[in-house]
Amino acid sequence: MQKTSKIYISGHRGLVGSHLLQKLKDQGYENIITKTRVELDLLNQAEVLKFFEKEKPDYVFLAAAKVGGIMANMTQQGAFLYENLQIQNNVIHSSYQTGVKKLLFLGSSCIYPRNCPQPMREEYLMTGDVEPTNYGYAIAKIAGLKMCQAYNEQYGTNYITVMPTNLYGPGDNFDPQGSHVLPALIRKFATAVKNGDKEIILWGTGTPKREFLHAKDLADACVFLLNSENVNKDTGLINIGVGADISILELANLIKEISGFQGNIVLDTSKPDGMMRKLLDVSKISNLGWKAKISIEEGIKDVYNWFIKTYKSNLFYL
Ligand SMILES: NC(=O)c1ccc[n+]([C@@H]2O[C@H](COP(=O)([O-])OP(=O)(O)OC[C@H]3O[C@@H](n4cnc5c(N)ncnc54)[C@H](OP(=O)(O)O)[C@@H]3O)[C@@H](O)[C@H]2O)c1
């Protein structure tokens, strides 16, 4: 990408998109296009094509999607399937119709088979059934990455797909009903500190292990991959993670320390644990020359401080 190349970031107000936007600005890219959902509803095929025909972007980051935690996924399988299929169909097809040079599609580690061997290598995709609690999301994402592959084969486009692990960062979703585990714990500890609670309840046994990548690192990886001459339509899927995981109890203890919470963590073992491990094999991206830079301690401090600062000025604070 040249600093003057026209770059469209879809979903620029989301966790991934906002960090991509910041990364590109920091690196001096000066021709970035963004549109809010009100300005351009990506579900609307005609409007999306009109936008691409007018703007003719050189590069596209497809970071718009319907994303949510387990409850949202379980109760809205149809909406996750429909909206994600529609958004990616519209953006990928319009990119092809208007000659986009390179597109980066965001897949997810959640779409590997539920009983996938660990750590998960790129070639394990579609070797077993997806997790039933998010099958709508997973099937849509698989269709998206297969669409990129099929367009590359049939039309000679240059679309790449990345598979990020669990992400976190400033701007994440902290809604108690819809958030992922890390932001949910940050909110829980911050609330407990504020209220002077004696204990916080942690669901499950605390033993399942998870991998977490700061969204700033993800953005760095995406820009690196889009710029890399060694990465093209023939590279196949690329996992993006840190290559290491921690248990949920270790994570809770880390957030406890950062928050200064003095009480106890109580395990509610009547609640489900979910998959025991979900770790990405990151040898492919390492061999391409990229690795994550932000440690989990540093990353959580960053997000914890952001959360306190942001939510203090909010009437609905905790
Ligand atoms: N978060 C993770 O842990 C994670 C992990 C792996 C992969 N990913 C992938 O990364 C990508 C981005 O995820 P994220 O966490 O950044 O999600 P997010 O924070 O929910 O952001 C999604 C963005 O998409 C936009 N969007 C959704 N529907 C739209 C529509 N109909 N028209 C226009 N814009 C629309 C949203 O706009 P509004 O701001 O208007 O709502 C928002 O800006 C997704 O493809 C996701 O699958 C995320």
pLDDT tens profile 173-224: 888 777 888 999 999 999 999 999 999 999 889 999 999 999 999 999 999 9
pLDDT tens profile 45-70: 999 999 999 999 999 999 999 998 77
In this prediction, residue 314 carries a pLDDT of 64
Residue type, 165: T
Choose the residue to mutate in 39, 67, 89, 216 for probing ligand 1, maximizing ligand atoms within 8 Å of C-beta: 67
* Angstrom distances, CA of residue 14 to CA of 21, 64, 92, 216, 229: 10, 8, 19, 13, 28
In this prediction, residue 70 carries a pLDDT of 77
Tell me how far the alpha carbon of residue 106 lies from the centroid of ligand 1, in angstroms. Answer: 9
Q: Is 94 exposed, middle or buried (0-12, 13-18, 19+ CB in 10 A)?
A: buried
- pTM for the complete prediction? 0.94
Choose the residue to mutate in 18, 33, 35, 37 for probing ligand 1, maximizing ligand atoms within 8 Å of C-beta: 37
Peptide bond before residue 119 is cis, with ω within 30 degrees of 0: yes
Instruction: Give the binding-site residues of ligand 1, using a 6 Å CB cut-off.
Output: 11, 13-17, 36-37, 41-43, 63-67, 87, 106, 108, 164, 166-167, 180
Residue type, 194: K
- 314: Cβ contacts below 8 Å, ≥ 6 apart: none
Give me the mean pLDDT over the 269-278 stretch.
84
Residue type, 100: V
Tell me how far the alpha carbon of residue 15 lies from the centroid of ligand 1, in angstroms. Answer: 7
Question: What's the alpha-carbon Rg for the chain, to the nearest Å?
Answer: 20
CA distance 48 to 154: 22
Tell me how far the alpha carbon of residue 14 lies from the centroid of ligand 1, in angstroms. Answer: 5
Beta strand pairing call for 277-278 and 166-168 = unpaired
The atom of ligand 1 lying closest to the CA of 166 is 3
Residue type, 223: V
In the chain, what are the domains?
A: 7-168+212-240 (3.40.50.720)
Q: Of 137, 159, 168, 304, which one is the catalytic site residue?
A: 137
The atom of ligand 1 lying closest to the CA of 13 is 43
Confidence of residue 72 (pLDDT cuts 50, 70, 90): confident
The atom of ligand 1 lying closest to the CA of 36 is 40
Which segments of 41-170 are extended strands (E)? Answer: 59-62, 102-106, 159-164, 166-168
CA distance 113 to 118: 11
Tell me how far the alpha carbon of residue 260 lies from the centroid of ligand 1, in angstroms. Answer: 32
Identify the helix (H) or strand (E) that includes residue 146: helix 135-155
Percent of the chain with pLDDT over 90: 85
Within 10 Å of residue 305's Cβ, how many Cβ atoms? 12
- The separation between the first and the last C-alpha atoms of the chain, rounded to the nearest angstrom, is 42
137 is catalytic: yes
